[in-house]
Chains A and B, each alone.
Chain A
């Protein structure tokens, strides 16, 4: 925050200025665009509107220069060469392109893919699609803390594995997978290592050389950049090849055609540059806020459970089960807080989170969980207000909950034969 001027603070999203608006605690669903990013982007929507592929006039050159600076900024935060960064429409497209693109290119030599049950829907959907095409896919389980078992990975990856896809940071529970160890295993077996780092960039240090990462998906709107833009890192040495999904025009080294949206590229670049510079201090600040929030909640409410590892976790995430209180009902009670009861993609459905289920969290407990995401613009006052609000509502709803009564009477709820409906 200290790096922001007063004027920039005034330009903060109104939801973050206006204290009557709900407190935004859903930073894993999307983040507000940083005003400093906006400032860099806006001229490219108006006076600097050129098509970066126009080679014949100043407008095009100006746009191309801006795109190339952005490419360097993206490359820098992950220790890559700018030539290895291609722009896409977002992490979903990057994940689709990485997994399907590599699988299709190498299908004659290797037709096995390894991923993890807690990956983002778009990774799992891409893999399922490949399975229908005849590829063999292994979905690795996770341990109770949400992390994969490296020995199991080592046993699973074979000479027939073309790509291993493991996310850097989970979107629901914020846990950090051991990327460096995974990279070493993949390199040893000759499989390409793809990692969905939509939630990891700017939150944990990333270095594609040190971690032996071959492909990495990056999102703009998860790192205080704009929506509609992402990137895919594709290693050049040893070279990773892939079958493009979007053809025509031949932009982005032929791997991704389409006119590059200059303002969005600029926004992603600037967001990366800010994150690279401020990550250390920001993480420290968020860790303090997160711990303050967590300690207050567990200190004052019994029967509260944290989902996912606490140590191997980004500071901006909490995922908590409030036993005997249904998550959606709780969300309605804490309507002054914008939080999520599952990942945003699936939260409109009533199914409990598949990520929590994969950790072995019981369905009934999964129904009681909230994902709380804090970030760059969260203040201590907001954290305190949120804590009071959550505690007040959990206590109120528990008073209304027949399950809470039974628990207090010493009845084991799992021993009851419920008529499932």
Chain B
């Protein structure tokens, strides 16, 4: 299976690997996937008072495409509002990374991860 250059670049030099304090009220955490399926993604966002994503971090257990998808989405969401971030589609990720059909689920997972992080943030805010 040949990976695209962009996947390789993100895999070898992943952007925004790391963790944010999940107890911080301005941090939303999304944890999606399952070890049994071969991928788990943890995606965290730190949101400013005016609803802008100031920082994003990820950790991913998975193949190169999963790592690249999560790395890419952290790059994309930074500086966006949570509404804009929430409207990112997996197809955009798949297209940007030129994922082959068997790897489309990686981009789906990344979309799920950002949605989960936003939802976690909103829950915390609402609480």
Which A positions have Cβ atoms within 8 angstroms of B?
324-329, 332-333, 348, 350, 352, 362-364, 367, 399-405, 413, 418-421
Q: Indicate which residue in A332, A362, A364 contacts B11 across the interface (CB closer than 8 Å).
A: A332
CB-CB < 8 A to B79: which residues of A? none
Q: Which of B3, B61, B63, B102 contacts A403 (CB 8 A)?
A: B61
Which residues of B are found within 8 Å of A401, using beta-carbon distances?
Answer: 40, 59-61
Contact of B17 among A362, A364, A400, A403 (CB under 8 A): A400
CB distance from B117 to the nearest CB of A (A): 13
Beta-carbon contact of A332 and B3 below 8 Å: yes
Pick from B38, B61, B64, B112 the residue with the most CB of A within 10 Å.
Answer: B61
- Among A327, A332, A418, contact of B35 (Cβ-Cβ < 8 Å): A418
Neighbouring B residues of A348 by C-beta, 8 Å = 1
Q: 17 extra interchain contacts, Cβ-Cβ under 8 A, other than A328-B62, A350-B38, A401-B60?
A: A326-B38, A326-B66, A328-B64, A329-B61, A329-B62, A329-B63, A332-B64, A352-B38, A363-B35, A400-B60, A402-B31, A404-B61, A418-B33, A418-B34, A418-B40, A419-B32, A421-B109
In B51-91, the 8 Å CB interface with A consists of 59-64, 66-67
> Once the chains are docked, how many angstroms separate the CA of A326 from the CA of B61?
6
Q: Is A364 within 8 A of B19, CB to CB?
A: no
Given contacts A326-B38, A326-B39, contact A405 B59 (CB under 8 A): yes
Q: Say whether, besides A329-B66, A400-B67, A405-B19, A419 and B34 are in contact (CB < 8 Å).
A: yes
- Greatest chain B CB density within 10 A among A325, A402, A403, A418 is at A402
> In the complex, what distance in Å separates the CA atom of A294 from the CA atom of B97?
36
Looking at the complex, which one of A324, A332, A421 makes contact with B61 (CB distance below 8 Å)? A324
Q: How far is the CA of A421 from the CA of B11 in the complex (A)?
A: 23
B42 at the interface (CB under 8 A from A): yes
List B contacts of A403 (CB < 8 A): 35, 40, 61
Question: In this assembly, does B127 line the interface, its C-beta being within 8 Å of a C-beta of chain A?
Answer: no
A to B CB contacts below 8 Å, 22 in the list: A326-B61, A326-B62, A327-B38, A328-B64, A329-B11, A329-B63, A329-B67, A362-B36, A363-B36, A364-B36, A400-B59, A400-B67, A401-B40, A401-B60, A403-B40, A403-B61, A413-B35, A418-B35, A418-B36, A421-B32, A421-B109, A421-B112
Complex: how many Å from CA A367 to CA B66?
14
B47 contacts the other chain (CB 8 A): no
Contact indicator A402/B17 (Cβ below 8 Å): no
B-side contacts of A325, CB under 8 Å: 61
**How far is A348 from B62 in the complex, measured between Cα atoms in Å?**
16
- Closest B residue by C-beta to A352: B38
Closest 5 CB pairs of A and B: A418-B34, A364-B35, A402-B42, A328-B63, A402-B59
Q: Are A367 and B35 also in contact (CB < 8 A) when A400-B59, A401-B59 are?
A: yes
Closest to A365 in B: B35
Taking the complex as formed, is B105 at the interface, i.e. its CB lies under 8 A from any CB of chain A?
yes
User: Closest Cβ of chain A: how far from B107's Cβ, in Å?
Assistant: 13
Q: Which residue of B lies closest to A325 (CB)?
A: B61
Instruction: Determine the distance from Cα of A401 to Cα of B33 in the docked complex, in whole angstroms.
Output: 13
Q: Please report the C-alpha to C-alpha distance between residue A419 and residue B8 in the assembled complex, in whole angstroms.
A: 28
Inter-chain contacts of B60 with A (CB < 8 A)? 400-402
Q: Which residues of A contact B64 (CB under 8 A)?
A: 328-329, 332
List residues of B (8-28) whose CB comes within 8 Å of A's CBs: 8, 11, 14, 17, 19
Report A-chain residues with C-beta under 8 Å of the C-beta of B108.
421
Q: Are B62 and A399 in contact (CB under 8 A)?
A: no
Contact check, A421 vs B105: say whether CB atoms are below 8 A apart: yes
Question: Which residues in A have their C-beta under 8 angstroms from that of B35?
Answer: 363-364, 367, 403, 413, 418
Please name the residue on chain A nearest to B34 by beta carbon: A418
A328 to B64, CA, bound (A): 7
Residues of B within 8 A of A405 (CB): 19, 42, 59
Are B17 and A399 within 8 A (Cβ)? yes
Q: Is B99 in the interface zone, CB < 8 Å from A?
A: no
Shortest Cβ distance from A371 into chain B, in angstroms? 16
